[in-house]
Amino acid sequence: MNQKQLMVATKCDEFKAVMIEDAASHQLPLPMFQPTHLQVPTDAGSQSVEILMFDDVQVTFTCWSYGWPRSFRAEAKSGDPVSISHAMLLAAMGLRNFFLGNGLENRREWQEAIATRNDLIETAKSSHAKSSEIRIDDGWASCVINPAGVLSFEIWSVG
């Protein structure tokens, strides 16, 4: 592995570390990262983990084979207000920490991450398709509200 690959390979681990740090600093359950068998067809070396933090939210984080974050998805498992709140919290954590390519010191402040998440939700609520999507740094973020009122958020990089 060359020096650039070694440097880049730390970004997914850095994302996990700051997720744990954010949870601890706000006295939330610490996330656990359980490997899954999901793979990206165009990137056989990609790796995915399920982030276990709340029982009522499904969260998946995928890394490109070269160690850079590829996608983060948080979805409430029901329309229950607690499940939706947990999904919203995890979406803000994802938005705060996903794009660390410019360095940890440049990650988003909580207020910015929460405002972005809230904009996604409000735009989805007001759209006919009940979805929204915005460009962020070198990727995208989206929110979808299904007919039962269940929220899902996704963040992905363009590679």
Q: How many CB atoms lie within 10 A of CB 4?
A: 9
Q: What's the rounded mean pLDDT across residues 125-137?
A: 94
Which has the closest alpha carbon to 33: 15, 9, 8, 7? Answer: 15
Question: Which pTM value belongs to this model?
Answer: 0.86
Q: Where are the domains of the chain?
A: 3-157
The phi-psi region of residue 111 (left if phi > 0; otherwise alpha if psi is between -120 and 50; otherwise beta) is alpha
pLDDT digits (tens, 9 = 90+) for 69-78: 889 999 999 9
Q: What angle do CA 42, 159, 34 make, to 5 degrees?
A: 70
pLDDT at 65: 84
List, for residues 51-61, the tens digit of each pLDDT value.
999 999 999 99
pLDDT (tens digit per residue) in 88-130: 999 999 988 887 655 566 677 888 889 999 999 999 999 999 9
Alpha-carbon torsion (60, 49, 82, 24), positive or negative: negative
User: How far lies 152's CA from each of 60, 66, 74, 132, 155, in Å?
Assistant: 11, 27, 6, 11, 10
Backbone angles phi, psi at 29, to 5 degrees: -60, 140
